Amino acid sequence: MRIKCTTRFKDKVDDLPVSFEEGDVRSVSERDGARFVGHGWAVEEGGVVTAEVTVSPSSVDLDVHNASLGSSDNLGA
């Protein structure tokens, strides 16, 4: 799927972080493309509309995961 970015955004493609600039035309997977278009960050090149654009809320909550560190010793081994 080819998309044209309508804003600058940072995401992942194939699990690798990628930065997109406004006006960029990129080939991405159908899944990523639909997600980017769905968030309103890009449009499908050629003006074909296949993904529904969701209006982004003015405020969103992060679900930050607590972290736990163990401490142990190895008796000098």
Partner 1 sequence: MKRLLDRLHAGLLSYLQFFGGVFYAKSVADIVLDGALDVIATCTRMTACNAEPTTYTQGNATFALADVTMAGGDFTKANGDTSGRKITVGAKSGVLIDTSGTATHVALLRVSDTVLLYVTTCTSQALTANGSNTVNFPAWDIEIADPT
Q: Residue numbers of the site for partner 1 (CB under 8 A)? A: 7-12, 17, 19, 39-41, 56-73
d(CA 29, CA 16): 13
- Phi/psi of residue 36, nearest 5 degrees: -65, -45
Taking the least distance from each CB to partner 1, the nearer of 47 and 71 is 71
CB-count exposure of residue 3 (10 Å: 0-12, 13-18, 19+) = buried
Q: How far is the CB of 23 from partner 1 (least distance, A)?
A: 14
Taking the least distance from each CB to partner 1, the nearer of 60 and 77 is 60
Taking the least distance from each CB to partner 1, the nearer of 46 and 71 is 71
